[in-house]
Amino acid sequence: MLTITEAAAQQIINQIEQSNAQGMVLRVAAKTNEDGSFDYGMGFDESKDEDITLNQHNIDIVMDPQSAELLEDATMDYVELEQGQYHFIFSNPIDPNYIPPKKGQ
């Protein structure tokens, strides 16, 4: 199951409030490119009957079955990549571009 960190959850909650997306769910998606790399996406949406639904940090998250399979052991985080520049990132052990975190991080 996809894991959402506390930092990512807080930023998602902030974005829900800023964009008036109350009542919507967070859709998370993943797809495999021709070269085997993964693309990730997310946005506020309405759920569909075929969606896989989970709730973390009181946030309703949905994904289609194919994305759910690709995101099975992934973690979504919100981190500072460069000074003052924060981004959502996906850490996914089945993504060919995955680099495990260094010990102590």
Give yes or no for a contact between 52 and 61, defined as CB atoms under 8 angstroms apart.
Answer: no
Give residue 104's pLDDT: 57
Residue 65 covered by a domain: yes
Sequential DSSP letters for 48-90: -TT-EEEEETTEEEEE-HHHHHHTTT-EEEEEEEETTEEEEEE
Asked if the model's pLDDT at residue 43 lies above 60, the reply is yes
Q: What is the pLDDT of residues 44-53, one digit of tens each?
A: 999 999 999 9
Residue 55 covered by a domain: yes
Residue 96 covered by a domain: no
Residue 64 covered by a domain: yes
Residue 100 covered by a domain: no
Number of domains in the chain: 1
Q: What is the pLDDT of residues 58-103, one digit of tens each?
A: 999 999 999 999 999 999 999 998 899 999 999 999 998 888 777 6
CATH of the domain at 60: 2.60.300.12
Residue 99 covered by a domain: no
- Give the 3-state secondary structure of residue 17: helix
Range of the domain at 81: 3-91
